[in-house]
Structure 1
Amino acid sequence: MASLFLVAGCASTLSARVTSYQKWPANAQGQSYRIVPSTNQLNNLEFESVADTVRAAMGPTGLVEARSGQTARFDVSINYENPLSQVWVQRYYDPYMDGWGFGPAFGGYYGGYRGWGGGIYMAPSVRSEPVEVYKNTLTVIIKDNQNNGAEVYRSSAVNVSSSDNLAQAVPYLAQAVFDGFPGNNGQVREVNYKRGR
């Protein structure tokens, strides 16, 4: 289960699942873009920080940010969230510690060497338990104003974390959104990044 892998992953790395759709125009190199905030993102310091992170990650697109008041070919919208949700994860329990099974046994039940033999052993039992996690999600949508505002790129990166750390995850999610840009239409992939110290 991917969510289990993401929750249990090493703390020194960040894993994300990226889903991208694209119909990227061939003549887009060097064209201009502008980031268009929604009504509730206007004058929002958190959004401005996220937008700066997305700007920094947009290098692979070949686009250039339009100056203030300049008409841009592409409009970029950014959505982010980290809702708390519940996933089921598998936990392993040692039956020996739970009162079942035996370790190495004297007397050799199955004819051991010099009086030592293997005892009865049962594989660890597996139990599914609910765990609360945060789904750090960043979605970037690019629309082409030369094509009646049609979507030409949409990508979402999701990282599942046991802690509320959206601000720390956003730089990696922004990088993931443009990793391999523009990629194949309908592509789903897993990416892993080493966390900075």
Structure 2
Amino acid sequence: MASVSLLAGCAATLSTRVTSYQQWPAGVQGQTYEFVPSTARANNLEYDSFADMLRAAIGPTGLVEATSGKRARFDVSFTYENPLVQSWTQQYVDPPFYNGFGPYNRGWAGGMYFGPSVAYVPVQYYKNTLSVSIKDRDRHGAEVYRSSAVNMSGSDNLPAIMPYLARAVFEGFPGNNGQVRVIRYEINPR
């Protein structure tokens, strides 16, 4: 599971799993794009803030945001979410386990070694997801790029994680079609 791991005195690492698909046209350096929000996201301050983060991440691709009132070649849309999900993980159980006759401690007993028991315990985490789609108006609105970045976190802090998700979806742009990769970023502790 990708996560933010905090180490005392060290930089933390944020990991994202990125999946990208592309049929990126050649020779589009300097072409323009515009954000196309869904009806539910129009005039939404959170969406606008995340769009600003995407603008910064799109810059290195060579695309330029269209000025107001000008026709853009590419439509950029994005969705995001961070639901609380539950999974199961193995955990060593200590103190002793009970086998029906009595508790056994770890260690040697009567010529047999009893190690710690393993139990499955529920774990909850936030699944932070950003999905970006770019459509080419010159190709009748055909999708030419789709990328999703996913990060698992123990805290509900999507605004702090979003800049890294935005960078991740454009890391190595446009990349190989169908490529899945893990991208890690160092985060300085505050």
What TM-score do you get using the length of structure 2 for normalisation?
A: 0.86
Q: Does 1:71 align with 2:71?
A: yes
- Corresponding residue of 2:92: 92
Q: Any unmatched runs of 5+ in structure 1? A: 104-108, 110-118
Shift of 1:102: 2.6
Contact 1:17 1:157 in 2 (8 A): yes
Query: Would you tell me which structure has more strand in proportion to its own residues?
Result: 2
Between the aligned partners of 2:91 and 2:158, the Cα distance in structure 1 is 26
What TM-score do you get using the length of structure 1 for normalisation?
A: 0.83
**What is the percentage of aligned positions where both structures have the same residue?**
60
Between the aligned partners of 1:50 and 1:43, the Cα distance in structure 2 is 12
Between the aligned partners of 1:125 and 1:101, the Cα distance in structure 2 is 9
Between the aligned partners of 1:35 and 1:124, the Cα distance in structure 2 is 55
Between the aligned partners of 1:124 and 1:44, the Cα distance in structure 2 is 52
RMSD: 1.9
Between the aligned partners of 1:123 and 1:145, the Cα distance in structure 2 is 63
- Corresponding residue of 2:5: 10
Q: Does 1:152 align with 2:144?
A: yes
Partner deviation per Cα, 1:129-163 (whole Å, 9 max, x = no partner):
12121110001100000000000000000001121
Contact 2:131 2:147 in 1 (8 A): yes
Q: Any unmatched runs of 5+ in structure 2? A: 7-11, 97-103
Q: Secondary structure at the match of 1:191?
A: strand
- Corresponding residue of 2:54: 54
Report the count of equivalent residues. Answer: 177
Shift of 1:120: 5.9
Report the AA paired with residue 15 of structure 1.
S
